[in-house]
Amino acid sequence: MMPSGETGRPPVTSPPTPSSSQSPPAPSPSPPALRVLLLVPARSYRIADFMAAAGRMGVDLVVGSDGALPLGGRPVIPVSLADPRASADRLAARAGPVAAVVAADAPMLVLAAAVAARLGLPHNPVAAVRAAADKARQRTRWAAAGLAQPAFRIVPAAAPDDAVRQAAQAVGFPCMVKAISLSASQGIMRADDPAAAVAAAGRIRPILAQARRPGGEPLLVEAYLPGPELSIDGLLSDGGLSVTAVFDKPGTPDGPTFEETMLVTPSRLPGPVLAVAITAAGRAARALGLTRGPIHAELRLADQRPVLLELAARSVGGLCSRALRFPGGQSLEEMVLANALGRDPGPAGYRQARPSGVFMLPVPRAGTLRAVGGRACAAAVPGITGLTITIPAGQRVRPLPEGDRYLGFIFAEGDTHHHVEQALNTARDRLRVVIE
């Protein structure tokens, strides 16, 4: 269950007892708590962390969602992503006065921008948020801005198999075939020859249909880049980027699917390489039209040269933010809320001294999840700071590229990056996942 959290409302105090000799002084009114509209999809890992952050900050959250959320009786304004205009009308009418609008996860980003515009609050342009959610638009805008990225071709939805073959041959093998609107590595496959490219496209299109994406959505075919991968998280303010974390990704798979597994921070890359990567992430965000709020950029190093893969107008997904340590114990969610309220979110955290990391547990095969055993043994590994299984037993699960969820998250800290990686791998190996 998600904890209800604290609202951050000022406490109610009793007025002083009047005396016979004088009238009681008028009580000083307590300043009203800041109110933030938080939009949360029905299936989200992050509501509890945002509620805890708001409680620590004295911020009152107004929650809108397209599903029923277990919030301890807190009212939720219902929205429908299939009808964003009506949802924006409902939120504007029922949210009351709010100081900012924040999307907790990717599905709510466009709606959050639209509602903020309706309420006259600072926001990213809706067109920029849409561009950040569309891998083909990203590629086109980054090409116009002259940013380093893989060679690519866009294949229309109704194009025949020959169009996929030609696109793959144009960018070269191996290549990547991608759904343009999905996230978390869903709908992404590597192809090593023309037949594999056609097969990947044939596998991805039903995934799009099941995700209820528009029937006319094209596919993206791009060159596969070998080499280390990293991700950059930061907060935009007036277009300037303040970095909150840089993650290395040891053990990144080379296909045919691309499960996110281990993230370790701070990055061990040389300072000059990091500087170029951070500059590229900032330029990529601005090329999309983003000016404020969190971003999460993915890059690969080709001969020590950072090359952009993707960028999302959100912070790192899942529960990965729990791996980060900021001065004063501040959480990433607090920094996101502070940024939305126009406050200084504090110093960048990517230079944190003590290494930490997270292992995202991929779904190994399709079926019904019956149990995840060995949790106590995994949690007892030296360096492990947390272990959370996020899918209840009894649910159907699917691996990538069809699946869109992880079984859970393991967290670790250590004196060295090697200690963190070793702890995460050891804990992962002690888990027993039972899927029928």
Q: What is the pLDDT of residues 157-211, one digit of tens each?
A: 889 999 999 999 999 999 999 999 998 889 999 999 999 999 999 999 999 999 8
Which structure tokens are listed for 409?
Answer: 């998250």
Give domain 34-123's CATH architecture: 3-Layer(aba) Sandwich (3.40)
Interior/surface letters 211-241, b for 16+ CB within 10 angstroms, e for the rest: eebeeebbbbbbbbbeebbbbbbbbbbeeeb
**Residue range 151-223 in CATH 3.30.1490.20:** yes
| pLDDT band of 21, cuts 50, 70, 90 | very low
Q: Which residues contact 298 (CB under 8 A, 6 or more apart)?
A: 229, 230, 231, 308, 309, 310, 311
User: What single string gives the DSSP state of each residue in 172-201?
Assistant: -SSEEEEESS--TTTTEEEESSHHHHHHHH
pLDDT value of residue 430: 98
Question: What CATH number has the domain spanning 126-143+226-350?
Answer: 3.30.470.20
| pLDDT band of 6, cuts 50, 70, 90 | very low
pLDDT value of residue 415: 96
The domain ranges of the chain are 34-123, 126-143+226-350, 151-223, 354-436
Model confidence at 30: pLDDT above 70 = no
Averaged pLDDT for residues 250-271: 92
| Angle between helices 332-340 and 47-57 in degrees, nearest 10 | 70
Q: What is the pLDDT of residues 350-386, one digit of tens each?
A: 556 689 999 999 999 999 999 999 999 999 999 999 9
pTM here is 0.89
**Residue range 354-436 in CATH 3.90.1170.30:** yes
Which structure tokens are listed for 303?
Answer: 């001969």
What is the Cα–Cα distance from 100 to 114, expressed in whole angstroms? 12
Q: Which of 44-48, 70-74, 181-185, 280-284 has the highest mean pLDDT?
A: 280-284
